[in-house]
Amino acid sequence: MRNWLVWYSEEDVNLTYTEVAGVEAKFCMVCGHALENRDVDGTLRRACTQCSFVHWGNYSIGVGALVVREGKVLLVRRAQEPGKGYWTNPGGYIEQLEPIQETVEREVMEEAGVEATVQSIIALRDLPRSIHNVYIAFAMDYVSGEPRPDGVEVDDAGFFSLQEMETMNVASFTRWLVDAGFQAQTAGLTMDREPAWEQLKGHGLFRM
């Protein structure tokens, strides 16, 4: 699925979707009446003229995967703009009701045909733009499958050594992520699948 948030850090592709599309919230998503600019606790917000709805902001959350097999990194080559032709780590955007570990596992399967399971969170990127994006990167355990591109969003996929990556057209964020993974001194935030507190079962929990 869409992984173009990788592109925010690439050259000057720093435009957010809102800036590209010129989108500003105009109507209340609860009652449909017009929104107005209003000072809410010292910050200018878009707020409904008829009900209590306040548009707090535009946020998006991306997830990305670092899958390593025998010292080689799983990369996909973007078939679509932005970033067409660049190699990146697999990833995408979270869905409303899908746990993020399932999202990133699904994206790795969809984009690269590889089964991998979440191990830990190894990196995070924050981009407070007109859509405030948080990108969470996971170290994942390779399980099975030979890389095969989906043919739509990515047109090539494979495991590559650091040496091979040096001469490839790899996105700078992906280079950063690979460096973070290979230089890591700790395991990062490891997924807690069996929390000691019954009330937390089913929560997505990652801890030191």
Q: Which residues bind Zn ion (CB under 5 A)?
A: 28, 30-31, 33, 48, 50-51, 53
Cis check: omega of the bond before 82, within 30 degrees of 0:
yes
* Beta carbon nearer to Zn ion, 35 or 157: 35
Tell me which residue of 53, 204, 65, 89 sits closest to 139, measured CA to CA. Answer: 65
* Beta carbon nearer to Zn ion, 33 or 84: 33
Q: What is the 3-state secondary structure (H, E, C) of 33-81?
A: CEEEEEEECCEEEEEECCCCCEECCCEEEEEEEEEEECCEEEEEEECCC
Tell me the closest approach of the beta carbon of residue 58 to Zn ion, in angstroms: 18
Tell me the closest approach of the beta carbon of residue 56 to Zn ion, in angstroms: 14
**What is the Cα 2 distance to its own chain's centre?**
9
Residue 129's alpha-carbon distances to 2, 53, 94, 141, 161, in angstroms, are: 18, 22, 18, 32, 34
* Beta carbon nearer to Zn ion, 48 or 65: 48
Tell me the closest approach of the beta carbon of residue 37 to Zn ion, in angstroms: 15
78 touches 3 (CB < 8 A): yes
DSSP annotation of 170 reads B
Tell me the closest approach of the beta carbon of residue 36 to Zn ion, in angstroms: 11
* Beta carbon nearer to Zn ion, 25 or 134: 25
Tell me the closest approach of the beta carbon of residue 143 to Zn ion, in angstroms: 47
* Beta carbon nearer to Zn ion, 54 or 127: 54
